[in-house]
Each structure stands twice: as structure tokens, then as C-alpha cells.
Amino acid sequence: MTEKTNLMYTGKAKSVYETDNDDYVIVEFRDDMTAGDGARKETMDKKGYYNSIITAKIFEVLESQGIDTQLIELEKPGTLIVKKLDMIPLEVIVRNIATGSLVRTFPIEDGTKLNPPIIQTDFKSDKFHDPAINDSISKAIGLASQEELDFIKETALKINEIMKKMFLDVGIILVDFKIEFGKDKEGKIILGDEISPDSCRLWDSKTMDMLDKELFRKGQDDKVMSAYEEVFNRLITDEDKAKWNL
Ligand code: 5GP
């Protein structure tokens, strides 16, 4: 039994606690939802429930296909026990379809299929507003070595292939997503944070309806939680529900 002790860190949507085990931390997924660098903030009932379970499910599938993740276990809905990592402040973004900031920044039409996928990195920093960053800058500011950056990007593309299939099997197109990595105490690079409708763009493959946080960014707040519930219902099997007592 891992018991939480001190609050280590409060982010925009999650709180991280130390535990009585030096190697583990507890992540509580809250119902807070923010957009525009935290300019808009609302509470969305059950968001923490859905996102924690969706993250646990995706991380388990990734683990089963050879990707190291920080997940130890879903302790209960809303709460994950994870391996303690020293997080690398890079947001690694993979895109299969052009939309969002890509089409606002570059001359490419919204909806263009991207094959091969595009991979980008942003520097995760509230102070600097998450600017785009490349390998040279990442090395110069001491975020990671070239070997580590290469490993991170190669792993992100593998994760994309696994997730694309996982979502398509349940009628969802994985448009793009953001992931983060950290180092464990042996210095090994491991997938951390979350993968959920907060950090992915997901479209229904039949209707092309949005099933993710973009609804909130566009001010369609009343549709947000039914979209997250839909993703949950499609990904989480009866077996998962039995295992996690849902
Ligand atoms: P874009 O750069 O088009 O705004 O976002 C690309 C993808 O990365 C989207 O799936 C978006 O949800 C995700 N993403 C980018 N930045 C962030 C961020 O700061 N937080 C979260 N949760 N997701 C992000």
C-alpha cells in the first residue's frame, strides 16, 4: 500500500504528492480545465475520473508493446501511482493531420493528411509561454543530449503508431497529441505525464466530431464531458471495468 504524504507540485489539472515510497509519487487528476495559458478556467465534473482511467489504459497498452511508462497502477479512479521521474520540460507533439497551431503558423491547409507524421517540440515553460524549440536550443539550455533527443523522437513515433491503431479500432482518428518524458533514477528516459482527451485531438471517424479538449478551447463547454465520456466508453472494456472496480 502506497500512502501519499506531502504535496510536491500543483499543475493546471493535476496535483502530485510524495509517498512513503521514495521511488513513487501519486498523481491526482483534478476536474479543472484551463485554456489560453490558464486565462480561462472551469471545473468539469468527472474529468479527473475519465482522464486518469484513459491514461492508465493507454499507458498499459503502450507498456504491453515495449514502451517504458511511468505507470505503476491506477490506485482508484482519479488517482495514479507512478514512478518518480525527473521530468524533461519538452512537449513532444506528433501530428497525423494538419490543424491547430500548425495551420496558424505555416502555409498548410487544415485537414491535410501528414504521412510521414510531423514531430515537433515545445519548451514547457509558463514563463516563456511554451515556445517552439529545436535540438540545438534544447542542447544549449541543457535539456537533453542529442542521443536522448533522438531516443525521445523515435519513441514518440512508435507511440503514435500504437495509439493510431488503438484509437482507429474504436472508430476514432488520432489527429495529433502531446507527450512528455522524464528520467528515472537510473537515468533511463520514460514516458510520463498523461495521455488523455486533454492532450490529444481525437475525431470520430464516421462523423468527424471532435472528442477532445478542442471543444473547450472553442467555447463549446456543454459538449466537453460527453465527448470525454464517449472516448472512455469506447476504450475501456468490461474487462478493464472489472479489473479497476469501475
Ligand atoms: P497545437 O500545437 O496544435 O495547439 O496542439 C497540438 C497537440 O498537442 C494537440 O493535441 C494539443 O492538445 C496538444 N498540446 C499542445 N500543447 C499542449 C499543452 O500545453 N497541454 C496539453 N494538455 N496539450 C497540449
Q: Burial, 201: exposed, middle or buried (Cβ in 10 Å; 0-12, 13-18, 19+)?
A: buried
Residue nearest to atom 7 of ligand 1 (CA): 177
- 47 touches ligand 1 (CB under 6 Å): no
- pTM of the model as a whole: 0.97
Question: Cα(184)–Cα(3) distance, rounded to whole angstroms?
Answer: 20
Q: List helix spans (H) across 91-220.
A: 101-105, 135-140, 146-168, 214-217
Q: Are 227 and 47 in contact (CB under 8 A)?
A: no
Partner residues linked to 177 by β-bridges: 94, 200
Q: Are 55 and 200 in contact (CB under 8 A)?
A: no
Q: Could you read off the pLDDT of 25-70 as tens digits, one per residue?
A: 999 999 999 998 878 999 999 999 999 999 999 999 999 999 999 9
- 177 touches ligand 1 (CB under 6 Å): yes
Residue nearest to atom 12 of ligand 1 (CA): 199
According to DSSP, the β-strands at 172-183 and 90-97 are: antiparallel
Q: Are 95 and 118 in contact (CB under 8 A)?
A: yes
Question: Cα(57)–Cα(172) distance, rounded to whole angstroms?
Answer: 16
pLDDT attached to residue 110: 98
**Probe ligand 1: pick from 14, 120, 175, 176, max atoms within 8 Å of CB?**
176
Q: Are 188 and 211 in contact (CB under 8 A)?
A: no
Radius of gyration of the chain (CA): 17
pLDDT attached to residue 38: 79
Which stretches of the chain drop beneath a pLDDT of 70? none
Among residues 24, 23, 31, 26, which one has the least CA distance to residue 9? Answer: 26
pLDDT attached to residue 189: 98
